């Protein structure tokens, strides 16, 4: 490991960046360095501009990928190397505001029916019932299932923040059956390596396979279940602030995106066209 990489990782740890974020940032910087075959400490604003031209025009990376690269390079240069140039030298692409993919309750049931193993049913029903991120699921410990308070203690949330989410009464018998069969000790969902939790990769892979078996045409990821959790709560009349707390969103502005994907929210809204007194138009055509 180079001294610069070690210094950047140390700086990220000081600032409590999630391990997954650290890994992504280091990967972005490594690709940047390999492109020029030089240490990033020897590169400047002109090189950064050329690299963004390369990833945009030649690699045709989308906005999301380019934003991640920009964030990684901004951290490297302004937090680790503490350069004195303007932050504008590392362009941040305008983020596309795409609506999340949401499954209907019937589609959720169809997806769950395609889960073949008890462990997978327990994992994905836990994600949906509590609105968890995949990294939060993988870090669940057996002791995090609080039956007395009917809550799930969510560790290692985004921003290194813990929180509590819902423990569904319907989830408890499934978790009991799973725990009796799997006998987990520390991690609720242990991985292939002894003493380690299941990896995010394994969860995503299992989700992809179940989605194909289900026959659903929507793109389904573990995060789709989290989006569906939030949308279904909103449609059931739960207020945005409560949903924000359950999801662990820092800002309620992030939670408001679900207003755009919850059809029942607009059920009582009348179009202004319907309020006008217009003559009949049957013969106009």
Distance CA 150, CA 164 (A): 10
Distance CA 135, CA 43 (A): 34
Active site residues: 133, 158, 223, 226, 249, 258
The CA–CA distances, whole Å, from 51 to 43, 48, 81, 120 equal 11, 5, 19, 41
Q: How long is the chain?
A: 285
Distance CA 259, CA 227 (A): 12
In DSSP terms, 163 is beta-bridged to: 154
| Pair of tokens at residue 119 | 């462990």
Query: DSSP string spanning 10-26?
Result: HHHHHTT--HHHHHHHH
């Amino acid at each position: 490991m180079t001294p610069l990489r070690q210094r950047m990782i140390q700086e990220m740890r000081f600032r409590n960046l999630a391990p997954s974020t650290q890994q992504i940032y280091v990967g972005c910087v490594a690709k940047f360095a390999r492109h020029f075959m030089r240490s990033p400490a020897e590169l400047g604003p002109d090189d950064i501009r050329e690299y963004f031209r390369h990833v945009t025009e030649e690699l045709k990376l989308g906005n999301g990928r380019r934003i991640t690269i920009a964030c990684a390079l901004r951290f490297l240069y302004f937090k680790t190397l503490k350069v004195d140039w303007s932050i504008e030298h590392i362009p941040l692409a305008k983020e596309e505001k795409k609506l999340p993919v949401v499954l209907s309750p019937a589609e959720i049931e169809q997806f769950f029916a395609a889960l073949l193993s008890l462990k997978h049913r327990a994992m994905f029903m836990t994600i949906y019932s509590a609105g968890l991120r995949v990294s939060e699921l993988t870090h669940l410990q057996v002791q995090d299932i609080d039956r007395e308070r009917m809550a799930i203690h969510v560790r290692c949330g985004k921003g290194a923040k813990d929180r509590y989410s819902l423990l569904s009464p319907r989830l408890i018998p499934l978790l009991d059956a799973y725990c009796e069969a799997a006998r987990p000790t520390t991690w609720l969902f242990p991985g292939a390596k002894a003493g380690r939790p299941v990896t995010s990769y394994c969860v995503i892979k299992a989700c992809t396979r179940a989605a194909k078996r289900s026959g659903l045409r929507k793109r389904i990821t573990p995060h789709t279940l989290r989006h569906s959790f939030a949308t279904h709560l909103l449609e059931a009349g739960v207020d945005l602030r409560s949903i924000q707390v359950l999801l662990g969103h820092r800002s309620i502005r992030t939670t408001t995106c679900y207003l755009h994907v919850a059809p029942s929210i607009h059920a009582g809204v009348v179009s202004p066209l319907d309020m006008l007194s217009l003559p009949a138009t049957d013969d106009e055509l």
